[in-house]
Structures are given as C-alpha cells and as structure tokens.
Amino acid sequence: MVRIPEGVVSAIRLTDKEYTLFSNYITDRLGIRMPESKRNMLQSRLERRLRNLGLNVHQYQDLVFGNSPEAEKERVHFFDIVTTNKTDFFREERHFEVLTDSVLPELDERDGRPSRFSYRHWCAGCSSGEEVYTTAMVLSEYAAKRKGFEWSLLATDISTRVLQSAQQGIYAEELIRPVAMPLRKKYMMRGKGSQAGKIRFIPALRKQLRFARLNFMDANYPIDEQIDVIFFRNVMIYFDNETKEKVINRMCRLLRPQGYLFVGHTESLINLNVPLKQLSAAVYQKLD
C-alpha cells in the first residue's frame, strides 16, 4: 500500500509554485492526491534527497522533470522517497479465510479438473511484502491439503526500494507476531549472529513468488496471463474516483471471467463504472 503521512517537519520550504509542480506531478504519475496537508511530508523527504545530491530545489526540479537518462533514473528515486509503504502480516485476516474457504474451492470446482488445479494470484501494491508472504503461506497450506494444486504469485509495486526488500523475505521478529507458531516453524528460518532477531522465509516459498515494478497509472500493465484473484487492498484510498475507475478497469482486463478482486475494508467501488459485482465486504467478482 502506498501512503504519504502528514505532520512531518522539514528545513526546506517549498514555494507555492514549487509545491504545486511537485504535487501535480505526483498525482499525474502515481494517482496519489496531494492536498496542502502533505506539504511538510514532501519537504522533509526532498530535503534528504537534495542533501545527498548536493542540489537545491530548482536544480532538482530541472533534473526530475528533464528528458535525460539521468532524469529517468532519478524519477525512480523520486517515487521511492515520496511513497511510504505500510502493511502487516495477516492484515484484514478475514480475506484469507474467504480465499481458502470459499474462493479457492469455487475456482477448483469451476475448472472441473480433479487431478490438477492451476491458480494465479496478484498482490497489486505489495509494499514491503508482508501481504505477499502471508498469501504465499496460505496458498502453500492449501496445496498441502489439495493434491494437484499449483499456484504462482505475482507481487508488484511502484517502489523499487520496497520491492528489493520484499524479494529478500527478511523481517524483524517483532513483525511476525500475527503469524501462528506452526506457520513460523514451517516457513521461516531464524537468523543467527549478525542476523539475530530476524527471520527469513524459506527458499521453497520464495521461489513461488515473482516481483515486478508496476505503475498503476500506466495505460497497460505488462502482465501476459489471466489472473484468478487480485489483492488490491488499501491503495485506492489515495485515489480520486476517476483514477479508481481507470485502474480497476485496467485490472479487470487481466482478471479472468468470474475472477475475484479483494480491496481494503475501508474502500468501496460504489458509483464506479466497472465490470464487477460485490459479493461481500471488500470482495468483488468479475462479470462474465
């Protein structure tokens, strides 16, 4: 999930014109609304980057908004510094129960192939990976009970920083408190020496995952497969309705007929023109 916090104080003071240029660019490129309340946060994040580069605000604008190869590289860093990612293991746990108790059995029965069940899952806006590994454990547990269940999981985010972290599959032990002990023992390795106090997910689980950088504002997403279930949770709260509708429709082009979309419990698709029907709180199904 992408989140931009408020209340951060910085020594940099952006002029109204400078803030408008940056905030409009963030909204245009990432879809994130940037009201005045986000100004302190943006100033603080930029201050750190400008200090590292030895640039002032005007020079940095010239760089970020330029057309050079250096500008394109810097935009990757810019998107990293202006987005904050917040997630947890087994966040909104009810969704994982719905997935295993209802959605997977329904998809399995619909496929009508008792010997084999192939399943494709997309964590859209995967952040630092807690949702990804939660889902991976849930799917692996399902596979242990359903012979012939084959699954793959695609995880995407705009931030290269969090993608690199998620790919490592390394977390502080205090972050895994929501994970039941049997799952910890089965899927995690405890760090030793310099890695004490950390865990890493086992290679057998990590190899099932594919990570890729993706911007929801792109007209087309570089995904060449039909997805059974998309987790797109706690991202849309930063979009206006027009952006929500565009993004959801792009996702639906990749979602198989009667596939499922899960959104955050505080999110809604009301008044959006999208080919989905609501099944329960935050769970939608694509129309035929």
**Cα atoms found within 13 Å of the Cα of residue 59, Cβ hemisphere only:** 8
80: part of which helix (H) or strand (E)? helix 69-82
Tell how strand 149-157 and strand 117-124 pair up.
parallel
d(CA 265, CA 236): 11
Q: Which residue, among 255, 253, 260, has the nearest Cα to 285 in the 3D structure?
A: 260
Cβ atoms of residues 216 and 1 within 8 Å? no
Catalytic annotation, pick one of 45, 91, 120, 233? 45
Cβ atoms of residues 202 and 189 within 8 Å? yes
- Name 227's bridge partners: 255
Extract the runs of DSSP E, i.e. beta strands, from 141-282: 149-157, 170-172, 188-190, 198-201, 209-213, 227-232, 255-263, 276-280
Q: Which residue, among 196, 198, 195, 194, has the nearest Cα to 184 in the 3D structure?
A: 198
Tell me, yes or no, if 45 is annotated catalytic.
Answer: yes
Burial degree of 153 (CB within 10 A; 0-12, 13-18, 19+): buried
d(CA 109, CA 222): 29
d(CA 35, CA 32): 10
Taking phi over 0 as left and psi of -120 to 50 as alpha, with beta for the rest, 38 belongs to: alpha
Cβ atoms of residues 209 and 187 within 8 Å? no
Active centre residues (catalytic): 45, 157
